[in-house]
Structure 1
Amino acid sequence: MVGVMKSIESIMNLRNAMVLGLLLSTICLRAQQTPLYAHYYLNPYLYNPAMAGFGEQSSAYFLYRKQWAGVDGAPETQVFTLDGNLKNHPVGLGITFMNDITNIIGRTGGALTGSYEVKLTPTTQRLRFGMSFQAIRNRIFFDRIRAEDISDPNLLENVDAKTVFEGSVGLSYSVRKLRIGVAGDQLFQNTFDHDEQAAFRTLNYTLVRHFYTTAEYLFEVGPNITIKPQVLVRTVQGLHSQFDGYVKVGYKDIVWTNLMYRHDIGAGASLGFKLDDQYVFSYAYEFPTTDLNIVGSSTHEFMLGIKIHRSTPGKSEISQEQAKEIMQNSVHQEKMDALEQQNEQVSGKLNRTERQLQSQNEELERLKQVVESYQQDLELAIENLSANKNDTTSQTQGFFVVVGALRKFDNAKAFQRILKREANLDTRVIQNANKTWYFIYSDNTDSVKEALEKLEVIKKGPAMPFIIETPWIYKKETE
């Protein structure tokens, strides 16, 4: 009889420990089953699959989060994401690997993501769709349960693991500097059945749907300073919603700080920087603002990232130089054999002309793709820097008729050559005040009226078919 009572007591200890683990994993999240992230503002793909492949470059991020530092069994999370877009296609791809452990409950998963972008207008409005398929492995660490009699045969000593497949979807809409997103996770609501072989029962752990709604707006308060407020609303099906508020202040996209507030949870701040326009480092610190401070102290989160630059397709310029050299050699050879190979000479000239035209067309197409890759940034620059008929010379250093805008000097020079070759248009290059754009312009003047007249001439001239964007008037800033 005593042995039976000890067995029953051990089983009750086992069940209580498991319940305690479940409670600890949800105490601050109101039953939220997915991890919290402080660096969502840097990597929106963490919550929304529609953001896979968003941006000009592919990105890889590793995130480590230690919640309630110093508390045994507190949540600990590691996440790796990799995403990018297909060249010249509105398709994004991404992968995610995640490991999360809270007390006796562990969760490991991987996801494959695909996204698609639709341009609602040619320049300002975009709509993105995304979908992820996930494999999630849930573990119960029975060997971490403490009991009075560890030799009791009714206690399990192994890890029980089960795997299910889940799905998530997302949507993102952007217009100029505003972006809104919605996403749903764990849509299939699968159940893990963990068997207690000696306890006469099965522990069921059911996934519930999680929904995320985001909104953000980018303010440019100066040539180099940006402020981006953001709101994230987290909703677990059947429970009240919670919101997170962020305010990111950045300088030239090189260094930034972010303040955050989590409703009914806590507050925090993060600091990050980017090196060589490629490597990202960021740290976030959070602390509880409610009675949760009796459970644990601070939370720490680290993020490392790398922006994977796509190789610049500069082969067309090299090929053109090589083609000129080949042409010179070929012309010399043709002169020597002109009398004997007149037919071949004519044929050779036609072939070379065709190759040269093809190379020139490829060069123009390449520049169009380059401009398209940062279309949204260019639109914002034009909106902020363009002149109108009411501008006066007292507020500016001149008005420039811009026929092209590129970020790299080599590309700007290549575009100049195209305009000269195809339309005999002479142009020059100027940089904006914060050195982020190279503007190719045909004319400049101190009179906005005269600049607008010259703009109309360009729009009706022979160069228009080769101009990538609509010509506009640049109002040069005072440096």
Structure 2
Amino acid sequence: MKKIYIMLLTGISYLAVGQQDLQFTQFMFNKIYYNPAVAGSGGAICVNALHRSQWVGFEGAPTSQNLNINAPIKKLHGGLALKVSNDQIGYFQNFNIGLGYAYQMELANGTLGFGLNLELFTSSVNNAEWVAPDGTTGFDPSITAPITQGITFDGSLGIYYENDTWWAGISSARLAQSSTELDNNVNPALNPTLSTITDFYNRRHYYIMGGYNWAIPNSNIDLRPSLLLKSDFGASSVVDVNVMGVYNNKFWGGVTYRLTEAVAVNVGYQFTESLKAGYSYDIGINGISQQGGGSHEIFLSYCFKIEIPPRQKGSYKNPRFL
């Protein structure tokens, strides 16, 4: 238990400026998390839920959840989206909620979208007991205090295109690079001279993603490679490459390689026309894999359409009022 919190303390400056958005291996099923321009592009109301448990075996290791809903709105010539995310690592918790809009237009037998998302970010420290390298505990005015919270706002922009054969998008999140202020003093009333502030900065993120759908001739198998590049052009850049096979549009399985970090396998099943679910398991290939287990991730997606029949032209006669 002590190791994870010592790591958090010594790496707090990195956490404050490094990649902050959630990481999902099954990104191809959760494109709207990374790009607001996806909203409404599928022509159906879709509800997606994901849970990720990372570095299983470490106490206090990261766990992440994401719930998003997007729907096409014809009168708005596009779609709306609601995104809710939660990320817990040790004593730190980040909760985000955002509302987005995308304008969709037909282009070359496909759909081109331009999207905007506005988001509220909350960062908090739970009931922490900081542990020093020598094993001692206690109050340190230079460390973020327990039971403290900060709130800020930010946004994201994106462009996304898809047709029956391929899809691609580019987006940027945390555009304003706003900061969240957390108090370093447990009790400012008792220790007013020790009260200081730690700023957690939102670092601008960039995403490039794309995929291709290839139906293998004379078979019921589709091959669907995809890629996601994540970067903040500073602390880190990550590339995920996935190759997935889909049988009879029902069952799929694939392999993902995350450059220098992990290899993952994913499987899934389309239960009904509307409902599908998937699972992935990451095996770390960096140093941290020697200290704990891999990462588990599950997702559930439900999509449906609400069709309103067109109004029938003509007149209605009632024999009582002839």
Q: TM-score range by the shorter chain?
A: 0.7 to 0.9
Distance 1:107 1:166 in 2: 14
1:142–1:190: structure 2 CA closer, same or farther, 3 Å change rule? farther
Pick from 142, 145, 166: which aligns with 2:130?
A: 145
Alignment equivalent of 2:53, drawn from 54, 66, 69: 66
Aligned pair in 2 of structure 1 residues 259, 149: CA closer, same or farther (>3 Å)? closer
Pick from 209, 213, 228: which aligns with 1:214? 209
RMSD of aligned C-alpha atoms?
3.1
Whether the 8 Å contact between 1:265 and 1:292 is mirrored in structure 2 is no
Q: Distance in 2 between matches of 1:161 and 1:237?
A: 28
Write the letter of the residue equivalent to 2:174: Q
- Give yes or no for contact 1:184–1:210 (8 Å, CA) kept in 2: yes
Q: CA deviation at 1:268?
A: 0.5
Q: Secondary structure at the match of 2:288?
A: helix
Worse-superposed segment, 227-236 or 141-150: 141-150
1:207: how far off?
Answer: 1.1
Write out aligned runs for 1:25-104 (5 A): 31-87=18-74, 90-104=77-91
Report the CA distance shift for 1:259/1:196 in structure 2 as closer, same or farther (over 3 A): same
Q: Is the counterpart of residue 105 in structure 1 residue 92 in structure 2?
A: yes
What SS does the aligned partner of 2:32 have?
helix
Q: 1:259 Cα shift?
A: 1.4
Following the alignment from structure 1 to structure 2, what is the Cα–Cα distance between the partners of residues 187 and 88?
A: 28
In the alignment, what sits opposite 2:111? 126
**Partner secondary structure for residue 116 of structure 1:** strand
Instruction: Give 1:292's match in structure 2, choosing from 288, 291, 299.
Output: 288
- The residue type equivalent to 2:234 in the other structure is G
Query: Conserved in 2, the CA contact under 8 Å of 1:227 and 1:249?
Result: yes
Distance 2:8 2:247 in 1: 48
**In the alignment, residue 246 of structure 1 is paired with which amino acid?**
N
Higher percent of residues as helix: 1
Higher mean C-alpha deviation, range 196-205 or range 32-41: 196-205
Identity of paired residues, percent? 22
The 5-angstrom pairing of residues 352-431 of structure 1 reads none
What count of residue pairs does the alignment treat as equivalent? 307
Task: Name the residue aligned to 1:169.
Answer: 157
Q: Which residue matches 1:405?
A: none
The whole-number CA distance in structure 1 between the counterparts of 2:245 and 2:269 is 12
Q: Which residue of 2 is the match for residue 406 of structure 1? A: none
Instruction: Give the AA of the match of 1:311.
Output: E
Alignment partners' CA distance in 2, 1:68 and 1:35: 14
Asked whether the equivalents of residues 143 and 156 of structure 1 are also in contact (C-alpha less than 8 Å), the reply is: no
Counterpart AA for 2:211: E
Partner of residue 188, structure 2: none
- In 2, Cα distance between the equivalents of 1:291 and 1:152? 32
User: How many Å apart are 1:152 and its aligned residue?
Assistant: 5.7
Q: In the TM superposition, what is the alpha-carbon distance from 1:133 to its structure 2 partner?
A: 0.1
1:174 Cα deviation from its structure 2 partner:
3.4
Letter in 2 for 1:204: D
The equivalent residue for 1:188 is 176
Q: The residue matched to 1:41 in structure 2 has which SS?
A: helix
Range that drifts further, 45-54 or 233-242: 233-242
User: Structure 2 length as normaliser, TM-score?
Assistant: 0.84
2:307 maps to which residue?
A: 311
Deviation at 1:275, TM superposition (A): 1.6
Cα gap change, 1:303 to 1:144, in 2 (>3 Å): farther
Report the Cα offset of residue 17 of structure 1.
Answer: 7.0
Residue 237 (str. 1) matches residue 227 (str. 2): no
2:239 partner amino acid: F
Structure 1 length-normalised TM? 0.58
- Answer whether contact 1:25 1:75 (CA < 8 A) is retained: no
Unaligned runs of 5+ in 1: 1-14, 334-343, 345-479
Find the structure with the greater CA-based Rg.
1
Question: Displacement of 1:294 after TM fit?
Answer: 2.3
Residue segments in structure 2 that go unaligned for 5+ positions in a row: 186-190
Question: Structure 1 309/202 Cα, relative in aligned 2: closer, same or farther at 3 Å?
Answer: same
For the structure 1 residues 156 and 216, does the alpha-carbon distance in structure 2 shift closer, same or farther, using more than 3 Å as the test? closer
More strand by proportion, 1 or 2? Answer: 2
Aligned to 1:46, the other structure's residue is in SS state helix
Distance in 2 between residues matched to 1:38 and 1:78, nearest whole Å: 13
Residue type matched to 1:277 in 2? E
